[in-house]
A and B are shown apart, each in its own frame.
Chain A
Amino acid sequence: MFYNIALYTSLAIFAVGLVYRVSNWFRWKVGPEAAGISSSARVSAAAKGIISTVFSAKIATLLRVFVLDVLLQLWLAKKDFLRWLAHMCIFGGFILLLLMHGLDRFVTSVLFDYYSTLNPFLFLRNVFGFVIIVGLGIVFYRRLLLKAPRPKTTVVDFYAIFILAVIMISGFVLEGTKILSHSIYQEMVEEYSGLGEEEVEELRALEAYWVQGFGVVSPDVKGPFDEKILKQGEELHEMSCASCHSRPQWAIISYPASWVIRPMGLFMDRTNVHIGLWYLHFLACFFGLAYLPFSKFFHIFSTPLYLLVDGVMDEVESDPANMATRQALQIDACTHCGDCTIRCSVAVAINEIPNPNILPSEKLAAFKALLAGRKLNQKKLTRIQEGSHICTDCHRCTDVCPIGINLEKAWLELNERLAQRGYPKPEAWAREAMAAEFDLANLKEKPISLTPVDKAFASALVDSGQASTFSVCFGCQTCTNVCPVVGNDEDPKAVLGLLPHEIMHCLALKQKELAIGSNMLWDCVTCYMCQEHCPQGVRVTDVLYELKNLALKQIKNRAA
């Protein structure tokens, strides 16, 4: 009863999640192609596209992609053999285990004369499980010991591995406790042996045989046993049990596992630990099932589908509605493998600017949140904006993505969406925010207070070797006179606010707001004319650079 409720609940959650995830492929609008195409148009275009593809010569391409890229994942093998091996172990082992063991009622018993206690099923269950354990072992080895370049293992990755590990371990320990269990042995004897309670001698002989050879822990029957008794037990076993119970030693993982827990065997049997383990095992499976559409595991659907779609679609010929759907599917096909981040040209900056949105693998999650229309507060949007603009458009992430996601395109779109929501390139943002706040034109009439001094600002200026050079400025205005930006306008003060030499004065007066509020900062072309020609060696351009750093930090902190 409980089992069924849990099963159907998790199936229902899975179905809802599946519908939600699939609907995203038709709802998300990625790229200019997607504008103006409704979701229903995309659904019907997809249906048409699928039908016309399946009944065309393209079916051969689909089959080839399915075998080589989806089933055998050859692209991964070429890239990194160890990763491919881990992937195949987990993927292959899990699918086989699911079909043979998880869905035994629907698959195995239909096709074969099936007893879970009989070989080859008993043995294969352990073999498949072992294969998964090997796969998980490689994953741990790569991440923890080999320290394969992989800057981020997030909670998402951890959950996926954790659930799988719980399913596997609980399964093996469960089988181990059942091997030891005297009560389960008793149940089987009552049901299958045909021996009555009065046949004490036979019962003892059979039990002795199972204790000696099959690892059952009996409360009263203990060895060493007489040869004769064992012989009698063996005969009884052959007669009543062997036809549907293979030797537990064939359970190549669970049997050794039973040896480890053997000292606690009697206690565990009495306290029905195996029932608890059974609950843990199937609940973990059901939880995994329900969680699947919301987790990284969903890539077992989205990635193969994207590979298939990508194999038969064509930028030029395909229906624009289907191209829009492909774009959305592509974003959803990310497996969070982190290859993009490893190859990212600016990823190193994260050591100084701790914002995960700099890394493409994490930035994509932010992009998905925006696509899904999730409500994001100012702080989060500012973080995404910062990360999104620390990117040199070098295209490496797109080049390296194993499934061919066009990330470059996604970043363009992300910047576009951020700008629409009022979060443009940070420099442009800062320029506006600062200018709006410190209206320099009006300040002409206003007395400027020289106290109190912003001590943090004053000491920051002194701490920086290059910024502190402002202190030797003697006001000759050479910097302003050689500045091509100043020279570009009839009335530079109106456009720029403060001119370079005036900014140096502001620093001497510790006037932070004035210094970082000037448009001059953001219009500086960094041509270094001022610095080159300064007779005093003031590093004017570098001072402006540092002021820009400061201004950006200030508005970032304010948003936080």
Chain B
Amino acid sequence: MKTIFALISFVGLTFSLGASAHSPLFDCFDNGDGTATCEGAFSDGASAAGVGIRVELANGRVLFQSQLDEASSYSFEIPDQEYMVYFEAGTGHEIVLFGDDIY
């Protein structure tokens, strides 16, 4: 399952880079202290401040739901089970990043 998640996630990232102007861009990083920080942007350089973000367990339970701050970032505690992060940049512009790909 983890392999499938990683593959889907990779395809998602590739697509987000390959799409046309004003495509959403998103990535998350493990801070090494039990937290992760996610950042969003758009391919025309526009800010992603205020864009919705959702951290969800594999079973569908929503752990955190918020918006990117003025620096287009959001930090959260990494759950101890399989999870994914959704970047909610509008219809057709949602990006999902799986926990396995956050390092």
**Chain A partners chain B:** no
Using CB atoms and an 8 Å cutoff, list the residues of chain B in contact with chain A: none
